[in-house]
Structure 1
Amino acid sequence: MSMDLPRPIADYVEANARLDIDGMLQPFRRDAVFIDNGKHFEGQAAIRQLFEEEVMPVKAIFVPDTARQEDGDVVVEGRAHGDFPGSPLRFTYRFTLADGAIKTLETTI
């Protein structure tokens, strides 16, 4: 990846490119919250279920092309492609980091 992303975010993006669920979960805190277009998934078990049910079946891969700091968060934008209607779609990922891990990830189209 050519972008200079904080390590937890880079690890998540790189694991997603491989469709590696364990690798995708690793940078999240145990009590992390993933907000996917308004739906909340709290804790690693719920986030794993989201990945298993919504990411893996459609092979959704996020490819960031911009990143910026905003209000203490890291906002990353790019396209997600896979076997889903409208692919590719442009997404915004807003990451809140704490203690070297992802505390919150909010995705929006």
Structure 2
Amino acid sequence: MSTKMTGPVEAYFEGRNARDLARALSGFSETAVVHDESRTHRGRAEISAWMQNTIEAYDDHSRLLGVEADGADLIATAEVSGNFPGSPITLRYRFVTDGGMISSLEIAP
């Protein structure tokens, strides 16, 4: 498994960890969808609010463990630590891109 990333996926992880939400959000399309914790967030405004809310609630940070392609999707695996039961946990992030932008992100154990 490689850990080399570029573009919007790299901006997402680096931005979240640095608490630079503009950078974290920069790779998402205007109509992107995020699925996390059994909730769906549609569009950049909802995704931005989701990022802010989860950072405030969990003070989470991700350590990238690996990245692999699954067809056209990119699967990133990261150890996530923060203020939540069971920390740290390993999560899988499935990124779908379209035109160089993230169109969908699904986060699951």
- The answer to whether the superposition gives a TM-score over 0.5 is yes
Q: RMSD in angstroms over aligned alpha carbons?
A: 1.5
Q: What's the offset of the Cα at 1:3?
A: 2.4
Q: What's the offset of the Cα at 1:56?
A: 2.9
Q: What's the offset of the Cα at 1:37?
A: 3.2
CA distance in 1, matches of 2:55, 2:90: 15
The alignment-based identity, stated in percent, is 25
Secondary structure of the residue aligned to 1:56 is helix
Which structure 2 residue ranges, 5 or more long, are not aligned?
A: none
2:39 is aligned with what amino acid? K
CA distance in 2, matches of 1:20, 1:59: 13
1:83 maps to what in 2? 83
Which structure 1 residue ranges, 5 or more long, are not aligned?
A: none
- Number of aligned residues: 108
1:58 and 2:58 equivalent? yes
TM-score normalised by L of structure 1: 0.90
Deviating beyond 6 angstroms after TM superposition, the runs of 4 or more aligned structure 1 residues are none
Equivalent residue runs for 1:1-109 within 5 Å: 3-109=3-109
Q: What's the offset of the Cα at 1:78?
A: 1.5
Deviations along 1:17-37, one digit per CA (max 9) or x if unpaired, are 102222111111111000103
TM-score normalised by L of structure 2: 0.90
